[in-house]
């Protein structure tokens, strides 16, 4: 079975069904994401009703139906109002799609699912499980956050990770002057709010249309990019004329911002192992008017295929994405503690490959959208022990909290504090 994100899975389904109505597609995506976000709570609720059987013992079609049924009839109504007509209509659609014989084995439970109360289930749960159910996170991750941040701060972080952060954009001064772009955006119904002290970064307070449907988007006047990601590129601080290696570069958010900060002067070599992702990179760099970037297909766990050394190496390796669970809710149900260990092994190989390509006096910027220590501070601590020629340097501007384990030069961003993805950034200079 393939592990697809909700976006990719829905895109495949839309293609199969030849669906064309944009409103229906938007509604379907919202339904899938919000149901997936609450999967543990919905499954627990269903399991108490269908016991001794569990939801996972049914076919995938029945599992999906039960989750969507509970979401639409109970969660979307805040567990209060009961609309029997709507429930009957959903059951009827389920029979039409799955076949009445397939649905027959759970028909007897639909009425109970419509009337059963949630509170007794939450009251019967222990502390970790209750927080897990109330914040829609796996129990192992709740326990991890308790140990990492302390209970109160962990609960605030987990609650802050329920809903996606605001949408941010970066205006592209390679295409036009900043003020001119802002005027275009306002004329197209977008209300941007400057995100200080970051350069070119704006929160979208309001938009009348989807951002990627706007003419200004197609013309490359802006990039939809989270505040934390913008911060990572600005922290790298590339100068015009520099030689930069951008590692794990696709789909192009970093490359396009690095080139912008360099004023399209110098060279950026963008490394990624995925041809498919580099196709997206080519489209984005072209759309944004980047002229100084070259794509390189390579595995960053092995030696990077460059004979020379760069002024700046930027590494944003694959990670567990624990800082972006709000945007990618399916990710949290695919991960376990072992996933973090596997990611840390990959990150360790990559940062060592990158270290060999940093010129004397040059810098290596390392960032992840994860909040775990194993992928962040522990990698940096180990790196500094193995590479005495590197030391941490202060990151400017300071918009995050200091790193953990005494690594105060590093910066951490959290959804509940900084209103963006959870993120970690370290900057190291070779001397």
The angle formed by the CA atoms of residues 142, 144 and 147, to the nearest 5 degrees, is: 110
Region class of 321: left (phi > 0), else alpha (psi between -120 and 50), else beta: left
Q: Express the helix, strand and coil content of the chain in percent, nearest 5 each.
A: 50, 15, 35
Q: Which of 354, 369, 410, 420 is catalytic?
A: 369
Q: Are the C-beta atoms of residues 257 and 170 closer than 8 Å to each other?
A: yes
**Is 369 annotated in the active site?**
yes
Nearest to 136 by CA among 376, 4, 327, 333: 333
CA R_g for the chain = 24
- Nearest by Cα to 322 from 303, 309, 335: 335
Kindly report each contact of residues 106-112 with a partner whose C-beta sits within 8 Å and lies 24 or more positions away, as own/partner. Answer: 106/50, 106/58, 106/62, 106/65, 106/66, 109/49, 109/50, 110/69, 112/49
Write the DSSP assignment of 11-32 as a string of letters.
Answer: HHHHHHHT---HHHHHHHHHHH
Between β-strands 243-247 and 310-315, what pairing exists: parallel, antiparallel or unpaired?
Answer: parallel
What SS3 class is residue 268? strand
Bond preceding residue 137 cis, omega within 30 of 0: no
* Long-range CB contacts (within 8 A, 24+) of 331-339: 331/5, 332/137, 332/138, 332/141, 333/36, 333/39, 333/40, 333/138, 334/3, 335/138, 335/141, 336/138, 336/140, 337/140, 337/144
H-helix or E-strand spanning residue 149 = helix 139-149
Would you tell me how many other CB atoms lie within 10 Å of the CB of residue 141?
24
Q: Is 120 exposed, middle or buried (0-12, 13-18, 19+ CB in 10 A)?
A: exposed
Residues with a catalytic annotation lie at 369
């Amino acid at each position: 079975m393939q592990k697809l994100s909700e976006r990719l899975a829905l895109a495949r389904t839309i293609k199969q069904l030849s669906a064309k109505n944009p409103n229906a597609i938007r509604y379907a995506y919202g339904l899938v994401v919000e149901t997936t976000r609450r999967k543990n709570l919905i499954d627990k609720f269903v399991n108490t009703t269908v016991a001794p059987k569990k939801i996972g013992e049914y076919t995938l079609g029945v599992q999906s139906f039960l989750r969507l049924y509970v979401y639409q009839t109970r969660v979307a109504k805040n567990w209060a109002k009961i609309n029997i007509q709507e429930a009957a209509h959903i059951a009827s659609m389920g029979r039409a799609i799955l076949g009445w014989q397939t649905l027959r084995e759970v028909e007897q439970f639909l009425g109970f699912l419509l009337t059963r109360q949630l509170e007794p289930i939450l009251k019967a749960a222990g502390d970790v499980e209750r927080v897990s159910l109330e914040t829609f996170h796996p129990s192992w991750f709740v326990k991890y956050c308790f140990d990492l941040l302390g209970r109160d701060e962990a609960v605030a972080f987990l609650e802050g990770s329920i809903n996606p952060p605001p949408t941010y954009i970066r205006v592209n001064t390679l295409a036009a002057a900043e003020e001119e772009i802002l005027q275009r955006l306002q004329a197209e119904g977008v209300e941007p709010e400057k995100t200080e002290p970051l350069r070119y970064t704006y929160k979208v307070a309001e938009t009348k249309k989807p951002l990627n449907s706007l003419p200004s988007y197609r013309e490359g006047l802006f990039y939809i990019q989270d505040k934390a990601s913008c911060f990572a590129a600005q922290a790298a601080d590339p100068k015009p004329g520099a030689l930069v290696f951008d590692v794990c570069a696709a789909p192009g958010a970093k490359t396009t911002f690095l080139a912008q900060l360099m004023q399209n002067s110098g060279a950026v070599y963008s490394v990624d192992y995925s041809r498919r992702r580099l196709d997206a990179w080519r489209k984005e760099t072209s759309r944004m008017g980047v002229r100084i970037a070259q794509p390189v297909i390579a595995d960053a766990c092995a030696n990077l295929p460059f004979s020379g050394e760069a002024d700046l190496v930027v590494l944003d390796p694959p990670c567990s994405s624990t800082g972006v669970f709000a945007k990618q809710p399916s990710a949290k149900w695919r991960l376990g503690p072992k996933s973090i260990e596997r990611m840390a092994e990959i990150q360790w190989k990559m940062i060592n490959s990158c270290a060999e390509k940093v010129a004397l006096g040059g810098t290596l910027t390392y960032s992840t959208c994860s909040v775990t220590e194993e992928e962040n501070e522990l990698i940096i601590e180990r790196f500094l022990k193995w590479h005495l020629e590197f030391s941490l340097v202060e990151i400017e501007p300071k918009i995050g909290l200091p790193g953990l384990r005494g690594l105060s030069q590093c910066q951490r961003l959290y959804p509940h504090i900084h209103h963006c993805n959870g993120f970690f950034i370290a900057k190291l200079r070779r001397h």
